[in-house]
């Protein structure tokens, strides 16, 4: 027996539904997403290839073999990453020979993350010819594996990047943050972010205050913000490259250690590295008069050996590009509230509620300390900015 639903509005019988063949777009979700890797410019071929017939039947999947299977770890050579570029890196062997090694798509999944300056890596030989340097595929060596790191300093990657984080330096002993006492002015929030990043990686934090020669009365002219920050830094070294003030103290602190130098553009970081490592010959620049911000002169991270005549125990310095901001990845508000530098003596959380984020909760020890003058308003304002920025 038929009912009214068997006919459409025009009185015609409803046709039976046909099975619709999946379109190419429907099958895209089945493919491993490597396009972002290709667009990022760090791989030169697809790690997995898929081919479909017109009818989308019998998909042929070809997995590219792990290069270790072809090269063999016994044939790999270990080296130290000196510089990192878009698709290649400079690696120094133990015999001091420096070669250019490329990243290949076949190693992207094995590596997990591409090498950073300071990494120890295994290189495999892929070409018989010597390095020509005329394109990614012309290099004699490729990176096969990044050896485990003992420490690292990370920052968020670009918003359109496939990799959410970028490692500024690896296998370091301490973080040396360079800040100027003036021109450009001391950036409280930026310094707090770096101090947090160092603390999260259990790395000592050394604050180097440059351009001390611009203060007529020396340390007596330091701003209240700088003095407040000096009270929570592990070590503070005021220096002047022009007068030589503090350079010997800084050399003693760097001797025998692997140190990463970082800071905002224009604070004199490159000038300071040139004074410590004359062979570095880094390009320097002046602060822009228009906005008081520095010009980028360092475009990529580089590793330099400290000269033995000034550093008997040796050591290395990793110079990173001047950056205007550093973010804190994967940190929720409650964690930030508990570990923010300078809030709790001895890192002992004393607020009434364990989930207090120091905004409007009753019994907040941090807000009470701010009202009593035990915690500076500038430090609390810096915390609020970081909290509201989503880290």
Summarised one tens digit per residue, pLDDT across range 297-356 is 444 678 999 999 999 999 999 988 755 556 565 678 898 899 888 899 887 899 999 999
- Quote the crossing angle between the two packed helices 377-388 and 365-372, to the nearest 10°: 140
Please state the separation of Cα 192 from the chain's center in Å: 16
Compute CA distances 259 → 42, 65, 171, 206, 250, whole Å. 27, 38, 9, 10, 11
Model pTM above 0.75? no
C-beta atoms surrounding 356 within 10 Å? 21
CB 47 within 8 A of CB 106: yes
Integer Cα distance of 169 and 91 in angstroms? 14
pLDDT in the model for residue 162: 44
Residue 177 pLDDT exceeds 50: yes
CB 358 within 8 A of CB 383: yes
Confidence bin at 54 (pLDDT 50/70/90): low
CB 173 within 8 A of CB 258: yes
CB 321 within 8 A of CB 295: no
pLDDT in the model for residue 50: 52
Dig out the tokens for 80 from the structure: 């130290």
Residue 21 pLDDT exceeds 90: no
- Mean pLDDT of all residues in 362-371: 94
pLDDT in the model for residue 322: 56
Residue 47 pLDDT exceeds 50: no
Dig out the tokens for 129 from the structure: 């010819």
Q: Among 3-12, 66-75, 90-99, which stretch is predicted with the lowest mean pLDDT?
A: 3-12
- Mean pLDDT of all residues in 220-241: 90
Residue 159 pLDDT exceeds 80: no
Integer Cα distance of 292 and 184 in angstroms? 6
């Amino acid at each position: 027996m038929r009912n009214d639903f068997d006919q459409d509005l025009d009185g015609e019988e409803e046709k039976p539904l046909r099975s619709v063949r999946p379109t190419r777009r429907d099958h895209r979700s089945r493919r491993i997403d490597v396009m972002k890797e290709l667009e990022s410019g760090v791989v030169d071929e697809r790690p997995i290839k898929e081919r479909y017939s017109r009818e989308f039947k019998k998909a042929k999947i070809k997995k590219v073999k792990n290069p270790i299977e072809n090269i063999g770890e016994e044939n790999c050579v270990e080296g130290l990453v000196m510089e990192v570029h878009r698709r290649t890196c400079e690696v120094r062997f133990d015999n001091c020979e420096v070669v250019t090694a490329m990243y290949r798509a076949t190693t992207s999944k094995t590596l997990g993350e591409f090498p950073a300056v300071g990494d120890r890596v295994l290189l495999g030989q892929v070409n018989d010819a010597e390095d020509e340097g005329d394109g990614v595929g012309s290099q004699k060596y490729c990176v096969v594996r990044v050896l485990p790191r003992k420490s690292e300093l990370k920052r968020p990657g670009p918003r359109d990047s496939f990799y959410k984080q970028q490692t500024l330096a690896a296998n370091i002993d301490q973080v040396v943050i360079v800040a100027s006492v003036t021109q450009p002015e001391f950036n409280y929030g930026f310094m707090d972010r770096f101090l947090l990043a160092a603390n999260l990686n259990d790395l000592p934090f050394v604050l180097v205050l440059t351009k001390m020669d611009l203060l007529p009365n020396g340390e007596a002219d330091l701003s209240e913000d700088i003095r407040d920050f000096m009270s929570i830094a592990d070590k503070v070294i005021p220096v002047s490259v022009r007068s030589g003030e503090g350079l010997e103290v800084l050399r003693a602190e760097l001797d025998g250690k692997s140190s990463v130098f970082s800071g905002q553009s224009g604070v004199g970081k490159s000038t300071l590295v040139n004074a410590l490592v004359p062979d570095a010959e880094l390009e320097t620049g002046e602060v822009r008069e228009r906005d008081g911000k520095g010009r980028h002169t360092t475009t990529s991270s580089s590793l330099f050996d400290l000269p033995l005549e000034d550093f008997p125990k040796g050591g290395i310095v990793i110079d990173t590009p001047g950056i205007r901001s550093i973010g804190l990845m994967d940190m929720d508000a409650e964690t930030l509230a508990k570990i923010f530098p300078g809030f709790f003596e001895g890192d002992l959380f004393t607020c009434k509620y364990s989930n207090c984020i120091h905004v409007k909760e009753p019994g907040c020890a941090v807000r009470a300390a701010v009202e009593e003058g035990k915690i500076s308003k500038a430090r609390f304002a810096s915390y609020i900015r970081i909290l509201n920025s989503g880290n």
